[in-house]
Structure 1
Amino acid sequence: MTAALGLAGGLLALCGLRFSAWLLLAAMFVSLGGELIWPEYYAFSWIALLLYALSALLSSALVRAGEETPVKKLPLSVAVIAMMAAAGAGGAAVWYYDKGVMAERFRDARANDPAYQQIAEEVKAKDARIAETDGKVREQMGLVAEREQKIGELTAVSAAKDEEIRKLTAQSAARDERIAALNARLERAKTELAAAQAESRRKFVYLRGSNNVRDVPNADKGSKVIGRLSNETAEVVGSQGGWYQVKGSFGAGWVFGKNAVMLDLGR
């Protein structure tokens, strides 16, 4: 009813009819009454009042106080466009306000619904668990990053140790080569020393006169003469009793030491 009155009043006001102001006033009072009786009418009441006030201002500007003809009549197309623009603005305002009211009602209904409250509590609990899990995950990620950093440091230390071990291995190989060379020299020195010691242990005798060389150190029991040394020096390779075993062109034989003089090669 208020919409019809307001629409009629606005059209009549735009067309320049004087009694349109009474229609606008009636629509305004009906809107106020509807708001007092039905609180839900609030969303439409104030929008209607604004539109009606706009129409009243337009009507008072177009209609003189003592005349029923307008000072200046607006073209019908301009009036229709103005009304459509006002209706669009009013509809958008009503939709926006109604959307807010419905959202508030929906929130109130959900807040008073036990099932929704239970679901909300479960969602809050899940959010808390998710937040706790996220915190733990972040903590674990921090630990993993710290562990990776330590692994990187240990890898660098290990690489440095490997390089040091490689250098020490190379040094050890060179040292082993030097030790092998020294061992070879030591063996040669030992061989030379043994030869020198053997040479130093050789004994020589000078045999004066003519001396028979026998195959056994015995001149009385069938020993055989295998050579003769006269005023010669011979190397002693053994001794038994008063006999010396000497070496010569005959091989090894025995001479009696009566005519033998032991030589001292160290002097």
Structure 2
Amino acid sequence: MRKTITGALWVVTLAAIIAAAAGFCWLVIGVADDKDGGWLTVAATLAVGIGAAVAQYTLAPKAAGSMRRPFWISWKGLATIFAACVTGAGAMSLILPLMDPAVATEKTVTQDGDRTRGEVVRARDDILAALSPPQRAVVGAVPGRWGEAGCAVVYEFKVKDGGLMIERVRKEPGMSDYAMTAALVPGGEGDQLNASIARSSDAGETEGQALIFTYSRAADEERLNWRNLTHVGYGGTKLERCP
């Protein structure tokens, strides 16, 4: 009876060791597969873990066994198998962080920032180069404050990095805040400046809507007409230069 209980306990212990090892391997496979290397990372991680486990078991001191009772069947053999599994798990845990991308340093952040700024500048220059001379003149004239008749409602226009930013800086009672960013789009005729909405605080303005800005100047008076092409039949918002 006691021998039967001991045998059953041994089987349960072995099953627990196998289940724990399999569960950890499954967890490692999931983590390794999420890394850049994919299944190559999984294979490398498992190879290291299995190799470490086999090496631990091979190098561990073993009592002499026999054909009828090999060493691994004994409790000491079971403990050696458990130690080998722990060693393999530890090896996989150590190698997984090495598969992560390099940690950003101040130097890499600076380099990435310089590269991004360079790309933005090139994109801006490409857009400006594609504009006609009258349109480039509009780009130079648009920045500043423009308002509706009497300047009771005023918008601040800024041109930056190939984009147009508009913000309502003066409003009448009851009016909500307003901010919109649009990308300049090459094309159009004469002194008309085309743009495409990137984002807007107005629910009626969505990404991709086309805008046309028409600038004119007579003597000391400047005018800017702001038109959204999705508003069919609407002539646009007529603005004048404001202080």
Bigger Rg, which one = 1
TM-score (norm: length of structure 2): 0.25
TM-score (norm: length of structure 1): 0.23
Task: Specify which structure has the higher proportion of strand.
Answer: 2
